[in-house]
Amino acid sequence: MLASQSLSSTFARLKTTASKIYSRMEFLGLNETQLSERCSLAAVHMSEDQDVPGLMRDRLSKILMNRHDFPAKAAARVITHAELAVLAKVLKVSTEWLDGQADNQDPVVWNVLAEPDRALTFTHLLQEYEKPGTETRVWSQYPLHSYTSEAFVYAFNRVYYGSKPGIGDTRPMVEFYNRVARIRRKELTRPDRSSGYTGLISRSRFEAVICGTGAFAAISKTILKSNLDVMIDVITNPSLRLKLVIVKDECAESLKALRNYEFLGAVDDLITVWRYHSGDIGWSEHPSYTKPHRQLLDRLALGSLFQDVNETVEYLRSLQNRLRRGPKYALSSQL
């Protein structure tokens, strides 16, 4: 019985991996011959080890046979880690995504600066789950970049990541998140998206960043004011399906699990993604992570300060007025 279950699990993983490879081939417009040629070239550059697989077309064909419910007898019965690494490199995805993590109780943790293409693999990961998903919810300690202007993103990242302790040269971190923001904004502001997206942030954190207080005083008032116009345009455009939820401070503070992260997101119960205070990114497909994280975000959304988008817009307009009147008004308005 155990051997039968193990064999069934192996076949399921092979099918998942083969289906993902084929999906990316279609997305990138590659046939088997083209993918094989690129894999052979990538293998040469990835290592001087002669054992690094070049993935000839015949081998690729046998791997791809597994995407069918009843693969041919000639289908590959195993895909090595070295083969996954070459395929991931060429297809611009991560090996962890190709291999599948639904049965892995340990989360995947990425050092975002460990690989030059990590921004692409990270954004691809999110996109792949948002396509079949119905609702993405993300809590963050700062306004999500899909809602904000490009000028604000660059200024924010320079201040926020440029002052992080223990990183050394912060420029790669700043550029990484600038790149992620560009890709995510382009993806999430497409009017043909079918899934909803909700960004959650506590009121005090939101106002500190958006109004440029403390360390964020380095962001110019011109950028801050125009950024609020962009945010209003985004959340009032129904075709974008981007909802902004300003959460009562006491609600966010009561959820102690949030203190471990700078952001925490979930796409339905399909995947959960988070970032640690160190800047490393974690993610998991396993129910032991996806379900409690989704429930945590659902509880947080119940603490919204405003009932609808009109009330949220009125609040954002009040912050614009605060910026126009200067720091003295900002201080008195909080007393």
Amino acid at 132: P
Query: The pTM is what?
Result: 0.86
> 199 and 282 share a domain?
yes
Looking at the chain, the whole-number percentage of residues with pLDDT higher than 70 is: 91
The sign of the CA dihedral 33, 37, 40, 42 is: negative
Contact in structure between 236 and 314 (CB atoms under 8 Å): no
pLDDT in tens, 104-120: 999 999 998 887 678 88
Pairing of strands 196-202, 242-247: parallel
Q: What pairs with residue 320 in β-bridges?
A: none
Contact in structure between 9 and 100 (CB atoms under 8 Å): no
> 208 and 265 share a domain?
yes
> 95 and 113 share a domain?
no
For residue 27, the enclosing domain spans 2-99
Sheet with 281-284, strands from edge to edge, namely 108-110, 281-284, 271-276, 261-267, 135-140, 196-202, 242-247
> 68 and 116 share a domain?
no
Q: Which of 131-145, 168-182, 282-296, 304-318 has the lowest mean pLDDT?
A: 168-182
pLDDT confidence of residue 7: 52
Residue with tokens 């975000």: 297
> 119 and 7 share a domain?
no
Look at 183 and 252; give whichever has higher pLDDT: 183
**pLDDT band with cut points at 50, 70 and 90 for residue 103:** confident
Backbone φ/ψ region at 166: left (φ over 0), alpha (ψ -120 to 50), beta: left
Q: For 244-273, what is the mean pLDDT? A: 91
> 24 and 131 share a domain?
no
The percent helix, strand, coil of the chain (3-state, each to 5) is 60, 10, 30
- Number of structural domains found in the chain: 2
**pLDDT band with cut points at 50, 70 and 90 for residue 334:** very low
Q: In the 3-class helix/strand/coil scheme, how is 113-135 assigned residue by residue? A: CCCCCHHHHHHHHHHHHHCCCCE
pLDDT confidence of residue 329: 46
> 95 and 185 share a domain?
no
Three-state DSSP at 168 gives: coil
Residue 330 has pLDDT above 70, yes or no: no
**End position of a domain, from candidates 99, 127, 155:** 99
DSSP string, 202-216: EHHHHHHHHTT-GGG
φ/ψ of 325, rounded to 5, equals -85, -15
Q: 85 to each of 13, 18, 237, 257, how far by Cα in Å?
A: 16, 14, 41, 34
**End position of a domain, from candidates 99, 131, 149:** 99
| Backbone Cα Rg of the chain | 23
Rounded to an integer, what is the distance from CA 39 to the centroid of its chain? 26
> 174 and 267 share a domain?
yes
> What rounded mean pLDDT belongs to the chain?
88
CATH number at residue 17: 1.10.260
> 90 and 155 share a domain?
no
pLDDT confidence of residue 295: 94
Q: 147 to each of 94, 131, 188, how far by Cα in Å?
A: 27, 19, 9
Give the count of beta carbons closer than 10 Å to the beta carbon of residue 41.
Answer: 13
pLDDT confidence of residue 11: 83
Residue 259 has pLDDT above 90, yes or no: no
pLDDT confidence of residue 167: 64
| Highest mean pLDDT out of 251-265, 267-281, 315-329 | 267-281
**pLDDT band with cut points at 50, 70 and 90 for residue 227:** very high
Residue 51 has pLDDT above 70, yes or no: no
Residues 6+ apart with CB under 8 A from 108: 94, 96, 101, 282, 283, 284
pLDDT confidence of residue 2: 33
Rounded to an integer, what is the distance from CA 201 to the centroid of its chain? 16
Token digits of residue 63: 């791997």
pLDDT confidence of residue 331: 40
φ/ψ of 321, rounded to 5, equals -65, -40
φ/ψ of 68, rounded to 5, equals -85, 155
Selection from 122, 136, 244, 128 nearest residue 180 by Cα: 122
> 225 and 142 share a domain?
yes
Residue 332 has pLDDT above 50, yes or no: no
> 172 and 91 share a domain?
no
**End position of a domain, from candidates 77, 99, 121:** 99
Token digits of residue 62: 């046998």
Residues 261 and 280: their CA atoms lie apart, in Å, by: 10
Contact in structure between 36 and 58 (CB atoms under 8 Å): no
> 123 and 259 share a domain?
yes
